[in-house]
Amino acid sequence: MLKKLCRVVLVAGCLVSVSLSAACETAFDYVWAPHRGLRQYERGGKIGLLNEDLDIVIPAAYDSILIYPLRRQDIHHITRDGKRGVIDLQGNEILAPVWDGVRETETGLFFVNRDNLWGLADAEGNLLTEPVWQDFHSFQEGYALVRQDGLWGAIDSEGNMAVPCAWYIDVSEDFSDGLLPVSKEWDGLWGYIDVRGEVVIPLMFAGAAAFQGGVAGAAEAGQDESNMYLQWGVINRQGEMISPGRWPGRDNGVTYGLTFYDGLAAYIQGGKTGFINARGEEVIPPIGIDPAMELFHGGFVILQTDEYVWKCFDRKGKERFEIEADYVSEYSEGLFWVIDREGKHGFVDETGKYALGPLDVSIVDNFVDGRARFRNGSPFGLIDRSGAVVVEAEWDDLTIVKGKNIASVLSDGVYGYIDFEGNPLAGIKR
């Protein structure tokens, strides 16, 4: 009969008695707090997984195991000897850790990297295409853009080449409404192709933006195409100009253009931001002086109209409130983050009235999943919607992972993850 030993191990800062088999030598160097019904454990510098009863589910064979889901709930991302892979919840290797990079897609497929080139694997880990692409975009409308020899094309979800790599694109664009703006030369004329690679709107524009809701921004040819501030109009799916090109495009962070989001597009005139609708009619005149605040969030947009004056508009162009502040953020989870003229932080609702604050701590950004980052001096922590501190300000860095109820943190040069109560999940030992 095997002799049973009782070993005391450290579990997320608490001493726990664990009944162990001497023959199995089940001793853990460290055990993390549970997440998704699992605990990471370390033995001999390698990481494995335990269940809630501290039974081994996956032996300690990897340098790291990510137990929080990126997209798929049924896998873990792993690393070993600097290479990346994927295992299922039982520890079976879907993708052996032989890849320089693994990127999960919304469709359950994987882009895999070897020697700085990307290929595609299916949900079971079968390689659909060898790594040949220099770059790729995520799947949109059933297709992913891929780059080879500097030119872009598209593949379907089985890795088949739907559009040959023969086009220049605006790297901020993907297929939208089944069309993609393309050019044969970066400084040439632009048009649109469909998902078969057929040109459906001729290359006849000085600039072209993505379609949404049957319309797109386009700049007529004949303008000085070296000027990024082209005059843009609105076209339909036949390429017909339904609103004349009189709107200067805005900076979307990559290029200048007139891009529609939910039926509205921002433009710049005289250095100020305004909005038009899909008919090319002005909804909000050019009054915003901050070019970064140009998108609607939750049906509202904030425009800074003077040094300390901020105005909130709804999608119909109606002014909802005006507030004097150093800063007002975009709308998120029913609130706007505000820094008042005295440097106090708080949150106002869609009428401009304070729902929380002003607070005695410095907020870092908007609420995400009911939590907001704050800092008390240098360290970071989390508050809930009542303003209560739920994670003390003790982290060198902290970033909320949206939709997962966890946060990535940095402590003494070590990165890891905590839950929304501050319990370590991976990486950090407390």
CATH assignment at residue 382: 2.40.10
pLDDT tier at 251 (50, 70, 90 boundaries)? Answer: low
Q: What is the pLDDT of residue 430?
A: 53
pLDDT tier at 101 (50, 70, 90 boundaries)? Answer: very high
* Residue 93: inside a domain: no
Domain boundary residue among 68, 83, 100?
A: 68
Domain boundary residue among 68, 85, 108?
A: 68
**What's the token pair of residue 387?**
């303003």
Count of all residues that appear for the chain in the document: 430
**Would you call the peptide bond into 358 cis, given omega within 30 degrees of 0 as the criterion?**
yes
For the cut 60, the answer to whether the pLDDT of residue 379 exceeds it is yes
* Residue 229: inside a domain: no
Domain total of the chain = 2
Which of 16-25, 271-280, 402-411, 417-426 bottoms out in mean pLDDT, i.e. has the lowest? 16-25
* Residue 182: inside a domain: no
Q: Are 377 and 393 in contact (CB under 8 A)?
A: yes
* Residue 25: inside a domain: yes
Q: Which residue has the higher pLDDT, 12 or 48?
A: 48
- As a whole number, the mean pLDDT across the chain is 86
Q: Which residue has the higher pLDDT, 276 or 291?
A: 276
Instruction: Give the residue numbers spanning the domain of 414.
Output: 363-430
pTM: 0.79
* 380, HSE (Cβ side, Cα atoms, 13 Å): 18
Domain boundary residue among 43, 68, 93?
A: 68
Which of 126-135, 225-234, 328-337 bottoms out in mean pLDDT, i.e. has the lowest? 225-234
* Residue 422: inside a domain: yes
For the cut 80, the answer to whether the pLDDT of residue 222 exceeds it is yes
Q: Are 411 and 396 in contact (CB under 8 A)?
A: yes
For the cut 70, the answer to whether the pLDDT of residue 41 exceeds it is yes
For residues 62 and 374, what is the distance between their CA atoms, to the nearest angstrom?
A: 34
For the cut 50, the answer to whether the pLDDT of residue 22 exceeds it is no
Find, among 152, 147, 219, the residue nearest to 189 by Cα: 219
* 215, HSE (Cβ side, Cα atoms, 13 Å): 21
Q: Are 389 and 398 in contact (CB under 8 A)?
A: no
Cα-based distances in Å from 271 to 84, 290, 292, 293: 47, 9, 12, 13
What stretches of 137-274 show up as alpha helix (H) in DSSP? none
* Residue 139: inside a domain: no
* Residue 383: inside a domain: yes
Share of the chain above pLDDT 70, in %: 88
For residues 317 and 227, what is the distance between their CA atoms, to the nearest angstrom?
A: 30
pLDDT tier at 291 (50, 70, 90 boundaries)? Answer: low
Q: Are 218 and 203 in contact (CB under 8 A)?
A: no
Strand runs labelled E in 307-428: 309-314, 319-324, 327-332, 335-339, 345-348, 354-359, 362-363, 372-375, 380-383, 389-395, 397-401, 406-411, 414-419, 424-426
* Residue 429: inside a domain: yes
380 by Cβ neighbours in 10 Å (0-12 / 13-18 / 19+) ranks as buried
For the cut 90, the answer to whether the pLDDT of residue 200 exceeds it is yes
Q: What is the pLDDT of residue 6?
A: 28
Q: What is the pLDDT of residue 365?
A: 87
pLDDT tier at 255 (50, 70, 90 boundaries)? Answer: low
For residues 359 and 324, what is the distance between their CA atoms, to the nearest angstrom?
A: 17
- Region 140-168: mean pLDDT is 96
Q: Are 36 and 67 in contact (CB under 8 A)?
A: yes
Question: What are the tens digits of pLDDT across the range 69-93?
Answer: 667 788 999 999 999 999 998 899 9
Q: Which residue has the higher pLDDT, 5 or 151?
A: 151
pLDDT tier at 109 (50, 70, 90 boundaries)? Answer: very high
**What's the token pair of residue 161?**
């080449």
- Which amino acid, one-letter code, is at 326? D
For the cut 70, the answer to whether the pLDDT of residue 17 exceeds it is no
What contacts 47, CB < 8 A, 6 or more positions away? 40, 41, 60, 62, 63, 64, 65
